[in-house]
Amino acid sequence: MTVNVKPFYGSLFKDSPHTHLSRLLLIAFIIPRRRRETEQTTITERAMALRNKRLATLLFSIPGNSRVCNSGGFHHGSDRIARTGALLSRWISSASSSSAVVAEDESGGIYGLGSVLKEYEDYRRSLYGEFTHKALLVDAVGTLLVPAQPTAQIYRDIGEKYGVEYSEAEILTRYRRAYQKPWGGSHLRYVNDARPFWQYIVSASTGCSDSHYFEELYNYFTTEQAWKLCDPEAEKVFKAIKEAGVKVAIVSNFDTRLRPLLRALRCEDWFDAVAVSAEVEAEKPNPTIFLKACELLGVNPEDAVHVGDDRRNDVWGARDAGCDAWLWGSEVTSFKQVAHRIGVKV
């Protein structure tokens, strides 16, 4: 690295007698020290820029994979973004004054995210008291529960007696292709019981239009045999969360079978409210469904955190509504961890 010493030592070059000893002192001590200071400043600036980028990624979720879902309008999120941006600025300002944080980020490779999360949780508790949030919103399929067996396998097994000949791999490919196409029957996929939509999906996936096949398949997915909980400890955790005074709601893109399905799985009582898209007439990531859930719970959006497995539908949609959001399977991997982050002991 070349350091221009004349702005700092110009008078020495111009006005001094420039004895042999003076030159040696300048070359041996003053210039190397200035070079080290310049290099250290550059390293620190680069480290802080990298840290700030990581913090921005943490708060605003750089785009990742997402499932296809009909999108509604996006609004209601500007003041939330402003609040989050202000918090980010505070973190950056605080971190900039701490060389120890930068050193930890450079050596440990963790960019201080653990301390950032703790600071954010402490920040929430300073505003709201013991718990970081007054309400927990939970996605259904993919977060609370999943099919007990692969969907393509069920389509194939039940469909054999109706003449379905496609392999599971082919059914899965056709299913994904059909689901990704725009649904022409309505701007919403799940209207009431969503039979027209699911008839289209089943026929496109299997090549079978037999009404008896569709009815058997449709009814199967309302039974407890068709589903399993993602987290075996869910019941214990949700009871603890409710006993602590934190309200809980389901927020799901689903048809009207969701409520009887929750009853069949004996988990309906875990929740204070259910916001299902077929009833709200809005599908995630449309913020309307999140706002409806908050209304049902009697809380403001900024008092709630939503947990779901889809970055676009769950995380971005919830944040656009003004809620906090954690990505299931990445930021949180169990409901016990969710409870812990809120501040509830299980």
Domains along the sequence of the chain with CATH: 1-60+98-128 (no CATH), 130-144+230-342 (3.40.50.1000), 149-226 (1.10.150)
Closest CA to 12 of 23, 24, 4, 28: 23
pLDDT at 176: 94
Distance CA 54, CA 109 (A): 11
Tell me if residue 105 falls in helix, strand or coil: helix
Asked if the model's pLDDT at residue 280 lies above 60, the reply is yes
Residue with tokens 């982050």: 341
pTM here is: 0.68
Distance from C-alpha of 110 to C-alpha of 178, rounded to nearest angstrom: 41
Residue at token pair 């003004």 = 322
Sign of CA dihedral 21, 27, 29, 34: positive
What is the band of 180 on the pLDDT scale with cuts at 50, 70, 90? confident
Of the listed ranges 13-27, 172-186, 205-219, 295-309, the least confidently predicted one is 13-27
How many whole angstroms separate alpha carbon 336 and alpha carbon 136?
13
Distance separating alpha carbons of residues 308 and 245, to the nearest angstrom: 21
- The three-class DSSP label of residue 218 is helix
How does pLDDT run across 72-128, given as a tens digit for each residue?
333 344 444 444 444 443 343 333 333 333 333 333 444 455 677 778 777 777 777
For the stretch 142-170, pLDDT in tens is 999 999 999 999 999 999 999 999 999 99
